[in-house]
Amino acid sequence: PCGMDKMIKKLLIANRGEIACRIIKTAQKLGVRTVAVYSTADANARHVAMADEAYCIGNPPSRESYLCGDKIIATAKASGADAIHPAYGFLSENADFAAAVADAGWIFVGPAASAISAMGGKSQAKTLMQKAGVPLIPGYHGEAQDEATLVREAMSMGLPVLLKASAGGGGKGMRAVHEEAELKDAIQAAQREGLNGFGDSRLLIEKLLLKPRHVEVQILADQHGHCVYLFDRDCSLQRRHQKVVEEAPAPDLSAELRQAMGQAAVQAAQAIGYSNAGTIEFLVDNGQFYFMEMNTRLQVEHPVTEMISGLDLVEWQLRVASGEALTFSQSDLKVHGHAVEVRLYAEDPAHDFLPQIGRLSCFDYPTAQAWQRVDTGFQQGDEISPYYDPMLAKVIAWGDNRELAISRLLQTLSAMRVSGLRHNLSYLQRVVGHPDFIAGQLATDFLVLRHDELLNMTS
């Protein structure tokens, strides 16, 4: 495509682990020089070795290193980088950081700070989406926060309801209420958790959907007003609001529903003047879809979308941030086959999935086939530290259809060798090989309902 002359020349990746390695790979393909940052715990990490240059930015705790926006901007300056990619987690959805990067004269590889803040507060985001005509779950996200109002609103939409801390995330400050007698206590508890966890006691209330699916739509928008959706992903298989298995496209949705969701996602993005890659998350229930939230960044599960769309999302993030226009329209995009991803973690499923630390004495995996993909920030011999998310790798397989993608994923997982610490490899094999998963019986309570069975099945 034209416009490569103004392509980012040197990119600082404000992140670590597999996603930093993933971004470096695409930058190298595009001839963009890369700058890694690392904490003292990550001095020997794979992303540090892969980058053209690397700078230590502090001690192991994130708040002393990867969360220090000022140190990251100072490093960009010292290294001569002209752009900063935040990846996901850490500072990726921090509007103040995005604004500071832009104010200091660097390209922020992501949306404008205004779009991040528009989607940052759940209540505000819902109000915006309502105006844009995007369907919402019946709920209350008003200003009045006294107990009487909250009780009245909850009862008027009908129990069960879900109480959510407005500023919350990661499942904190959430309470499901099934009986009227539990309502007042649950409101007080959720307000306390919101205040303690996020310094904000405001709540929103949603009608609780009992068997929903979590389906998200990947969008990509440039700075010239073009926006497309790159199909959908099903992320229903979750444990404590953390995704375990993701697949694209989402199985068993009608063409009409897919198209309506895709168009709603584009409307949502355009309503806030969005540019770059982003994801709109929906709940799907009984053939209806409802806006949940927008992630204003690249997602962990972006590889499944790359495999079915044939697009490199990081490449387009860099092109769009450099000012290039999308070179394709919605009608040019087609779904090719099916892809499934699982997240391999250093955790002990037998002991409530407790994160594990220690040395990865063996870490061997196949990637000989074009349909296999393993994204990791680790290699054999690495230490898994207690400071960061214990994800070891994302394992992805593609096939012409869902059945083939699943069997190839199982084949890839069974050829992996991981030892030195406890991990969830055999748990993932049981989940993906479960007859109900293969039959496409997807809902957000899938893992909860089969918890004991999945732990006790012999691998």
Is the separation of the CB atoms in 337 and 398 below 8 Å? yes
User: Which of 181, 111, 93 is closest to 102 using CA atoms?
Assistant: 111
Q: Is 255 exposed, middle or buried (0-12, 13-18, 19+ CB in 10 A)?
A: exposed
CA of 284: how far to CAs of 124, 142, 143, 239, 254, in Å? 22, 24, 27, 18, 12
Contacts of residue 271, defined as CB under 8 A and 6 or more positions apart, other chains included, come to 128, 129, 131, 132, 134
The active-site residue, picked from 297, 343, 373, 408, is 297
Q: What is the DSSP string of 258-314?
A: HHHHHHHHHHHHHHTT--EEEEEEEEEETTEEEEEEEE-S--TTHHHHHHHH---HH
Beta bridge partners of 203: 165
DSSP-derived 3-state class of residue 73: helix
CA gap 317, 277 in Å, rounded: 6
Query: Please, what is the Cα angle at 98 between 62 and 277, to 5 degrees?
Result: 100
Contacts of residue 367, defined as CB under 8 A and 6 or more positions apart, other chains included, come to 373, 374
CA of 96: how far to CAs of 112, 170, 276, in Å? 10, 21, 18
Contacts of residue 11, defined as CB under 8 A and 6 or more positions apart, other chains included, come to 23, 27, 32, 33, 34, 35, 81, 82, 83, 84, 85, 109, 318
CA gap 388, 271 in Å, rounded: 35
Active site annotation includes 297: yes
CA gap 189, 265 in Å, rounded: 33
Provide the pairing of β-strand 33-39 with 10-13. parallel
- Residue found by looking up tokens 């748990």 in the block: 427
Give the distance from CA 42 to its chain's centroid: 23
User: Which of 67, 43, 68, 42 is closest to 385 using CA atoms?
Assistant: 42
Question: Alpha helix locations (H) across 322-382?
Answer: none
Catalytic residues: 297
